[in-house]
Amino acid sequence: MLNNLETLNRVFEASIAITALSLFLRALTFNLRDRVSRSFAVILACIMVASAGEAISDLVPVAANRAAWLRLQWVGTIFLPAAFLHFSDALLETTGRPSRGRRRWAVRFSYAVSAFFLVQLLSGQLLGPPAVDSAPVPHLSATNLSLVFSGYYVLVILLALSTIWRAWQRTVLSTSRRRMLYLFAGSLALALSAYPYLLVSSGAAAAWPELFLISAAIGNIFIFWALVAMAYATAFFGAPWPDRVVKTRLFRWLLRGPVLVFIVLSIIPLATRLSGLLGIQSNIILPIIVALTLLAVSHAFTLVTPTLERWLLFGSEALDVEFIQKLPERFLTQADLRQFLEALLAAVCDRLQSPSAFIASLQAGELRAVVEVGRPKPLASQKAPGELHRALEDQRGSQLFTWGKYWVLPLYSPGSSDLLGLLGVMRKSRVELRDDQRDALEELGSRAALALDSSRQQYLALQSLQSLGPGADLVQRLRAAARFDQRGVLADTATPPEYPDLANWVKDALSHYWGGPKLTDNPLRSLKVVQKALDENEGNPAQAMRSILRTAIEHNKPEGSPKLNGEWLLYNLLEMKFLQGRKVREVALRLAVSEADLYRKQRVAIESVARSLLEMETQELSRNGTRGKEVAE
């Protein structure tokens, strides 16, 4: 029984170290900007070092090396009180009670005291000679200074717990109070379980080793659940995402990391015993069992994770969340559309024994090639789309007509008469299509129309979602700020949310400056400055967008009279290319630059316009905020 308890404790210690490391990496990855998360990462680092040192010291056969690992364990223990005090100060500050100087200096002083004890540990003054061969586990003997450290440990932990309790009392919302209670209970359990009790009870542990190991196992379980509970509650600090996203990310992180590692570590002792029963060397069977366990557990997690998330995390929102999660699988990207249409055209060519086919879509009143297969490519020339469009207008609603050497089938939206595009297939001769060939062409054409219609609807849906982005980001940021301090709702909204795609939005709008869906359906319409321009232009979205873009471009205009020099290069490029609508070659010749250099300069110019637009939006938000304050007063 004693051996089993020792093995169980080793597995627990290794699992705690790996769990702390996993959660430490997660804190550094997702919430590093938040002070609560940073201070919690220090606690995780202390637990990770202490657990790793304890776990490895049990496995090292050489006494001198074992003593070194035991001292490493104490490095984490020494800094744990200061880390808890730091964490408690960050929590209280989050609830709207910033430090007036005393708490901050107390945190700094605690780190200084911990550094002093670290120096004493390295010099051999904090702990006595190692009792590496004592039962039930090796440990370092106590000294008078180590008893002083114990008093320091208890005092600072009590101070940290009282500060966390004050933070809990200042929290109003029931959800936030529950999470703050998790932090208090987790801190208490972690502080009680992480203390090295062999420092003061080595005699009792040697007298009743089974009882000590059972107590150690229970303490390790408390440490594990305290880490998980504190990580869960801390994950919401500074996170601008909804609660379901935070829960899902943490749940999957724990499953793929600590839980998987714990299962593998639990299998290793069983594999060692199995090798003895089968008469096979453990170094042969162990890698096989570990690999099979990893594969089996990973596959099981893949199967059961969606079900577990619905049961444990989502509750009544399960159907809505499942619908949102499956959206990426349902959306048809441009690459998906081209791939499908290429396969469809290949089927058309095979069915009609044709060497060439194409599909063109109707966008903003113009035909544009989407997919062309085979040779020749009839839409490769610049004049071909216009000629095909005129041929379409001459047909006056014909279902199937000829254009040069091609049969052309108009593609209409399912259930309506909206023209989406054209499907063309090259004729091998002037022989009319047979009925079965016509039926096959119309059937494949209906599928192409369905794909084009789905792509168009999804494009409009994505444009709507993008226009909702800035406002939704602001709501999420305010929601995150108010989780534990309700004054966060009153945070200054004059600072606009980040627009990572702002330059792309500006580029799309400028490309359709004189009309088109990229101008009128652009996400820029959600900006306050554009909404104001919309009112000033009698609700005309095209005129409103053009006026804002023109103003943003004018912000990049140098002082003085216009010139064709380097200072005026970006402004002249914007004016000629977009406001005047000149061709690339003409603009390049006018500005005396190569076409490749012109494209590089164009990217810089568009980014400059985006910055100007962002400044205009910030000023508009500031004016709105000032007017709101005046009304409130």
Sequence ranges of the chain with CATH classification 3.30.450.40 = 334-455
Distances (CA, A) of 178 to 181, 232, 409, 522: 5, 11, 64, 43
Helix ranges (DSSP H) in 482-520: 502-511, 517-520
Distances (CA, A) of 392 to 46, 406, 535: 74, 13, 39
Q: Are 426 and 351 in contact (CB under 8 A)?
A: no
- The band of 630, judged by pLDDT with boundaries at 50, 70 and 90, is very low
| Residue 163 pLDDT | 94
Distances (CA, A) of 350 to 373, 444, 541: 12, 12, 46
Beta strand ranges found along 315-463 (DSSP E) = 356-363, 366-374, 401-403, 406-412, 419-426
Q: In 3-state terms, what secondary structure has residue 464?
A: helix
Sequence ranges of the chain with CATH classification 1.20.1070.10 = 2-240
CA 223 to chain centre: 28
> Read out DSSP for 359-371?
EEEEETTEEEEEE
- The band of 44, judged by pLDDT with boundaries at 50, 70 and 90, is very high
| Residue 628 pLDDT | 43
Domain 2-240 superfamily per CATH: Rhodopsin 7-helix transmembrane proteins (1.20.1070.10)
**Mean of pLDDT over the chain:** 79
Helix ranges (DSSP H) in 489-562: 502-511, 517-520, 528-536, 541-554
- The band of 110, judged by pLDDT with boundaries at 50, 70 and 90, is very high
Q: Any long-range contacts for 486-495 (C-beta under 8 Å, 24+ apart)?
A: 486/172, 486/173, 487/96, 492/625, 493/621, 493/625, 494/618, 494/621, 494/622, 494/624, 494/625, 495/618, 495/621
Residue 450 has pLDDT above 90, yes or no: no
Residue 629 has pLDDT above 50, yes or no: no
Helix axes 209-234, 198-207, angle to 10 degrees: 140
Helix ranges (DSSP H) in 396-434: none
pLDDT more than 70, % of the chain: 80
| Residue 240 pLDDT | 63
Q: The tokens of 581 are what?
A: 């609508």
Q: Are 491 and 478 in contact (CB under 8 A)?
A: yes
Residue 33 has pLDDT above 80, yes or no: no
In CATH terms, 334-455 corresponds, of 3.40.190.10, 3.30.565.10, 3.30.450.40, 3.40.50.300, to 3.30.450.40
- Mean pLDDT, residues 279-287 taken together: 78
What tens digit of pLDDT does each residue of 542-568 get?
A: 888 888 888 888 888 877 676 666 677
Residue 586 has pLDDT above 70, yes or no: yes
Q: Bigger pLDDT: 200 or 40?
A: 40
- Mean pLDDT, residues 18-46 taken together: 85
- The band of 201, judged by pLDDT with boundaries at 50, 70 and 90, is low
What tens digit of pLDDT does each residue of 434-446 get?
A: 778 888 888 888 8
Q: How many CB atoms lie within 10 A of CB 130?
A: 19
Residue 633 has pLDDT above 50, yes or no: no
| Residue 364 pLDDT | 62
* Number of helical (H) and strand (E) elements in the chain, helices listed first: 23, 7
- The band of 473, judged by pLDDT with boundaries at 50, 70 and 90, is low
What tens digit of pLDDT does each residue of 88-97 get?
A: 999 898 887 8
- Mean pLDDT, residues 321-348 taken together: 77
| Residue 115 pLDDT | 95
- Mean pLDDT, residues 78-93 taken together: 93
Q: The tokens of 394 are what?
A: 């001459």
Spatial distance between the Cα atoms of 482 and 492, rounded to a whole number of angstroms = 13
Question: Three-state SS across 180-218?
Answer: HHHHHHHHHHHHHHHCCCHHHHHHHHHHCHHHHHHHHHH
